[in-house]
Structure formats: structure tokens, C-alpha cells
Amino acid sequence: MVYSFDKEVNRNHTQCAKYDGLEKYFGVNDAFPMWVADMDFETPAFINDAIIKRAHHAVYGYGIVTESLQQSVVNWMQTQHGWKIQKKWLTFLNGVVPAYSAALEAFSEVNDEIIVQTPVYFPLFQSIKHNKRKVVYNPLKEQNGYYTMDLEDLKSKITPKTKIFTLCSPHNPVGRIWSKEELEALAKICLEHNITIISDEIHADITFKPFTPLASISKEIANITVTLNAAGKTFNIAGLNAAYAITCNEALKTKLDEVVKAREIGSINVFGTIAMEAAYTYGQEWVKELKEYLLQNILVTKELLKNTNIKLSQPEATYLLWLDFSCYDLTHLQIKERLLKEAKIALNDGLTFGKNGSKHFRLNVALPVTRLKKYLNIIAKTF
Ligand SMILES: Cc1ncc(COP(=O)(O)O)c(C=O)c1O
């Protein structure tokens, strides 16, 4: 192992949402935070050193997207995901959520219908409302903690006003990696109904079985897809606000670029671009070792919760585990209170991911294993 994930890092008072935002988001300051999707691991030195080196040049004027940054993204997609993309397909901007919001405006009109598959990362439906479009829910089906798409329900919900399908791939919070067959079946429906797919693939690098980028499947599918991605989750640099959109469809790209320009969101923080390029240039070994460590943490979680009635959905990707507390004779609120006030652990509330997130909570296991064990034991004792 080149990298160590066991190092304890004190994140208090570093202006971070996860620790310093506890009072704001949970109304307490004595709980242990296992919520928001960033990791308690230090960002690798090859990124940190690049940032420090740049910071030594104490002029922080406006940055540009360089040819070498673009090439690093092209190379990463090819080596990590076997997807051959071109530099001219890329639009850089300041976050996946801002990119999603811009794409909603670019590919639909006010009051058009946008489909999302709940439970899902909540900004994906909140942003639809903020953009004055209509959210159409196509809930995932669940069986024994395994989630699948309900394509019959999807078909029944399509109307002439349906313009966009929102794909979360891999899926946050249920941890699914959609198989090529599932993606093909979904894309077939979207192709038939002239629906553009926005595919949020920000968790694509942290996968425990083969992952297929939607747009890599066929030319036809690529032509209706805009993929959103970033190095933020993989390398723990989400606070640097740098992301990109990929589409080979020139008309879609032109529309998206117009909105990005009008919203003035195409200028990325200079440290964000430096970090992204370093990540994609030197990050292969880090990703390999990170995945090994996270997989170990997932196994530890399964083991330590196995004598409780908490059910864990099968995690195929990400460090976010979707916990089902519905076996307990408790209301959602009682479970929430017990976690926060008795166990003193702050998890993401499942209801924020959609109605079918009731009695579910999302656990972040990207932290040193000793500390993970300590807090899992507390959860196990409390339930
Ligand atoms: C599915 C998904 N998309 C987007 C984001 C956030 O992306 P960004 O910080 O680049 O806006 C997250 C963060 O948790 C996420 O889970």
C-alpha cells in the first residue's frame, strides 16, 4: 500500500460542513458526523503538493481551462472506464449540481416534466423545482435491500411534456451500479420518446464491480446523453468546486454552453482545475487502494450490524450505505431521535432522498476503520 487511510484527521474548525455544520444542520454539536458525502481521509500528496506549489505563486488572478486539463479528463475516461471521449465534448464548470441545474434549463422549458428515480441525491429533484420544472417521480423498486428500476412505471409516466430523464449512475444513496442491460432498456425508452438523459456519474470511480458509462454504450445513446462528472468524490476535493459535462451531441453542447455562459458558471477556481488535473494524471493507484479500504469498511459495517435488525442495501459503489430501520417498531422520527440523541451519530435522513426513504438513513463509511468500528458498535448497541 502506498497510501494510508488509517490516519486520524481532526476536521473540526476547518470550515467544513460535515463537522462544523452539525449545529446548523442537526441542531446539536455533540454528535459524530457520518453524513455528508466527503471523506475523512487526507487528499493525496500529489494533489495537495500541486495546490501548495501553485499557492506559492501568490497571484490568484482568473484561471483558464488548459489543454492539459482537458487531456487529463480524456485519458481518465479511457483508462478508468474504457470510454473514448474527445476534448471538444467537454464543458468545464463549477460543480455537478450547477451543471445539472444548467442542463435542466438548457434542455427543457418552464413547466416541462423531468423524471427522477427516488430515493435519490436530493439536489437532483430540488433543482427541478428551483428551475420551475415539474418533478415526476419514478421510484426504484426494492427487494431484500436490492434496488432496481421500474421501467413499466416509467413508461406510464411519460407525457408529451417529459423532456429529461435524470439518471444517477452509480446511484446515490442505494449504491447500485446499473448493468449495461438495465441502461440499454432505460435508454431505449428515452430514445423512443425523444427524452434527453442527464447522467450524473460523479460516483463512477468508486465502484466494486464493472461500471458502464451510459454514453459509452452506443452512438445512438451517446447522442441523447449529457454526462456530468467531477474528481470531487474520488479524491476528496469536493470543496474545490470543479466539474465537467460531456456530450458528443453538438446541439446539446451548444445549448448547455449558452446557459453556462448566461449563468456565469463556467469559470472554475484555479485550485479546482489544478487539483482535478493532478488527480486525473497521478490518481490511478490512489483509486485502487481507496476502493480496497472502503470495501473493507463496508464488510466491517455488515459484520458489526449483522446482529441488529438494521438492513443494509447491497453496496456496489460509493462509500455511502443505505440503512433500512423499518424492522423496528418505531416511527421515522423516533429512529432519527434515537440515532442523534442516544447514539449521538449524525446520519443523512432518508426522507430527504424522497418519500420512499422513510425509516432509512444514509451512513458514510469513508473514515479510519478504528473509528468506524467504534461508532458502529454504538449504533448496534442502541438498536
Ligand atoms: C450523485 C451526486 N451528484 C452530485 C453531487 C455533488 O456534486 P458537486 O459538489 O460537484 O456539485 C453529489 C454529492 O454528494 C452526489 O452524490
- Delimit the domains of the chain by residue range: 17-44+284-382, 60-282
The whole-number pLDDT of residue 148 equals 98
- Mean pLDDT computed over every residue of the chain: 97
- The residue contributing the CA closest to ligand 1 atom 7 is 96
Q: Is 172 in the pocket of ligand 1 (CB under 6 A)?
A: yes
pLDDT digits (tens, 9 = 90+) for 86-135: 999 999 999 999 999 999 999 999 999 999 999 999 999 999 999 999 99
Query: Quick one: pLDDT at residue 1?
Result: 85
Which grid coordinates belong to 10?
A: 481532526
Task: Please give the number of the atom of ligand 1 that sits closest to the Cα of 99.
Answer: 11
Name the region of 6 (left: φ>0; alpha: ψ -120 to 50; beta: rest): alpha
Whether the CB of 38 sits within 6 Å of ligand 1: no
Q: How far away, in angstroms, is 123 Cα from ligand 1 center?
A: 8
Q: Is the CB of 168 under 6 A from ligand 1?
A: yes
Identify which of 92, 121, 214 to mutate to test ligand 1's pocket (most ligand atoms within 8 A of the CB): 121
In this predicted structure, the answer to whether residue 259 has a pLDDT above a threshold of 90 is: yes
In DSSP terms, which residues pair with 135 in a beta bridge?
114
Question: Residue 294 has what pLDDT?
Answer: 98
* Largest separation between any pair of C-alpha atoms in the chain: 59
Domain 17-44+284-382 of CATH type 3.90.1150.10: yes
pLDDT digits (tens, 9 = 90+) for 191-206: 999 999 999 999 999 9
Reported as a single tens digit per residue, the pLDDT across 47-90 is 999 999 999 999 999 999 999 999 999 999 999 999 999 999 99
In short, whether 96's Cβ falls inside 6 Å of ligand 1 is yes
Write out the CATH class of domain 60-282.
alpha beta
pLDDT in tens, 299-353: 999 999 999 999 998 799 999 999 999 999 999 999 999 999 999 999 999 999 9
Q: Is 31 in the pocket of ligand 1 (CB under 6 A)?
A: no
How many whole angstroms separate alpha carbon 51 and alpha carbon 272? 9
Å from CA of 376 to ligand 1 middle: 25
Distance 97 CA to ligand 1 centre (A): 6
Ligand 1 atom 13, closest CA: 37
Closest ligand 1 atom, CA of 242? 10
